[in-house]
Chain A
Amino acid sequence: MTPVHAIVAKELRSYFVSPVVYVVGAVFLLIVGLLAYLYIVFTGAQAIQLMQVQGQAQINLNDLVFRNLFSSIRFVLLITLPILTMRLFAEEKKLRTFEFLMTSPISLNEIVAGKFMSVFLVFLGMLGLTGLIPLTLSLFSDFEWYPVLTGYLGLTLLGALFLSVGLLASALTENQIVAAFVSFGLLLLLWLLAGLGSLLGDTTAGQVISYLSFMEHYDHLVRGLIDTKDLAYFCSALVLMLFLAHRVVDSDRWK
């Protein structure tokens, strides 16, 4: 068992003995399930209307259910994931275990990687459970799996990005509430960059700003487009956030 494994195992243990994961997971699944239910019922109502008017109905579940659902989950993730990440470093500092961790014979890379991987696994578990929605739906209807799967890839990457931002926020403070708010703020800022970008239109500045936001990259994946440009965006943003978190934690030793 390498030190990274040890940290992942310990962090997972800490998550699952505290109520946080259960509460966050339950709320996340409840809201996602409710959203899916609403979109499905809404689509069904549309289908019935079309049947009455035209006598037949061609309903595209991919467009009407999954794309809407994937767009909405973004917001649910923005609210729930900072609650998962806020404790990662802030709690260590508050409870004075930070010094212990930093004087253990492991590198800071391993600490940051271990912490990120643990919360990422928790997130994957939560996301995995939402897989029941398309699975159940596939029993009763036909839809294309490909855009659903790319949508899940998008969600995975988006979640990883949100978690890395949360990790950075947690490294900045020893107060968990502050950490959560800082990550809300940063994520909303990243979100709103898309709006600013489209306001500036097709200028270079507009394009650059739009590129910095996760919105268009995520939308491509939800629409079933896998573009290396988007994958590169998520990977580089993730690495940048983890690197910044690493620097912040390291600089704490000098204070």
Chain B
Amino acid sequence: MIDVQQITKRYGQHTAIDRVTFSVAKGEVLAFLGPNGAGKTTTMRILTGFMPASEGTARVAGFDCADQALEVKRRIGYLPETPPVYQELTVDEYLQFVGRLRGLTGSALSSAMARKVERLGLGPVLHRVIGNLSRGYRQRVGLAQALLHDPPVLILDEPTVGLDPKQIIEIRELIKSLAGSHSVILSTHILPEATAVCQRVVIISGGRIVAEDTPDQLSARLRHSEKIALTLKRAPAEAETRMRQVPGVQHVYANGPTGSFMVECNLGQDIREEVARLAVTNNWGLVELKSISMTLEDVFLQLTRHEEGVSQDTVSANESTAATAAGNAESAI
């Protein structure tokens, strides 16, 4: 549905995004993850036909975002970072205006409005002036605007910023419910959001894509060793040495005198069973044992901190960055 090939955007000397390539299938939800100023908004503006890329091509539903911008705009619902609302209009006046700009008239317009008002819970504020609404309601009005004409492609720039936790969950549920029927790109710098709602994550930093995968695989790929944490109630002094003798174990770290340990082994090996048996047969009082996976947060921090390893080819770039990132992670431990 969305196909971006090697797009670059320069503002004078400054390169905002550099050879960004990715695609989004029909019905897929993709998170665009990156620190502020990474180029998320620039990429979205190019996709929405707001501005052209300096190089490369971006296509939405088969239409070129620069040359066939009007066709692209018809198929996109866009929520910019600041909800684009006219403060002096009431919610229904605003939605009517939006609908008419997109060619909806008469009963098609009123039924589209009624559905979005219902879906986003805007009923109580329908006749109120937008300028007097809370941030949360304005954001929802902005979302209603993006969804109004049921576009096949939705581009949401930080859709949950400024909302309270309950509203954030509601909006995430809404976005999840859009998957399947809509292709969604959502940008965020909040990591749990990406894991919560998206099937795929693109991490962008300094204008380049540094990783692209599912949230699970992204963390898996960055792990170069498996780690397990275990807590023993009655750990003898030799527990650390004994565990180190289990085949496959690389390191054992004692985390203070509380009896909690971190055991590291080679990637792809599962030593949980052996370690558990060892602890149980020796009656060490095993109370906890779990494998530690890297959170997306760790991945994100590692990837965005080390951009220099990125090469031109995106695939190898991902891997090489992943490798350097992981390497650095190891030396940090």
| Complex contacts, B100 vs chain A, CB 8 Å | 1, 3, 5-6, 9
Per the bound structure, the CA–CA distance linking A107 and B74 in Å amounts to 12
With an 8 A cutoff between CB atoms, is A72 at the interface? no
| Complex contacts, A14 vs chain B, CB 8 Å | 86, 88-89
Structural contact, A96 and B73, CB atoms closer than 8 A: no
| Complex contacts, A7 vs chain B, CB 8 Å | 101
Question: Interface extent on A, as a size class?
Answer: 20 to 34
**11 A–B contact pairs at CB < 8 A?**
A3-B103, A10-B89, A13-B93, A14-B88, A17-B89, A18-B88, A99-B80, A101-B84, A103-B48, A253-B50, A254-B52
Per the bound structure, the CA–CA distance linking A107 and B81 in Å amounts to 23
Q: How far is the CB of A223 from chain B (nearest CB, A)?
A: 43
For chain A residues 55-92, which have a beta carbon within 8 Å of chain B?
Answer: none
| Complex contacts, B145 vs chain A, CB 8 Å | 100
* Residues of A bordering B, CB below 8 Å: 1, 3, 5-7, 9-10, 13-14, 17-18, 95-97, 99-107, 253-255
Per the bound structure, the CA–CA distance linking A100 and B45 in Å amounts to 11
Per the bound structure, the CA–CA distance linking A103 and B69 in Å amounts to 9
Structural contact, A103 and B49, CB atoms closer than 8 A: yes
Q: How far is the CB of B250 from chain A (nearest CB, A)?
A: 52
In the complex formed, the residue of B with least CB distance to A114 is B101
**Known interface pairs A17-B88, A18-B88; A6-B97 also in contact (CB < 8 Å):** yes
Q: In the complex, how many residue pairs between chain A and chain B have their CB atoms under 8 Å apart?
A: 68
| Complex contacts, A6 vs chain B, CB 8 Å | 97, 100-101
With an 8 A cutoff between CB atoms, is B102 at the interface? yes
Structural contact, A97 and B101, CB atoms closer than 8 A: no
Residue in A3, A17, A105, A253 whose Cβ sees the most chain B Cβ within 10 Å = A105
Per the bound structure, the CA–CA distance linking A9 and B101 in Å amounts to 11
Per the bound structure, the CA–CA distance linking A95 and B102 in Å amounts to 21
For chain B residues 81-111, which have a beta carbon within 8 Å of chain A?
Answer: 81-82, 84-89, 93, 97-98, 100-103, 105
| Complex contacts, A253 vs chain B, CB 8 Å | 50-52
With an 8 A cutoff between CB atoms, is B76 at the interface? yes
**Known interface pairs A96-B84, A107-B70; A102-B50 also in contact (CB < 8 Å):** yes
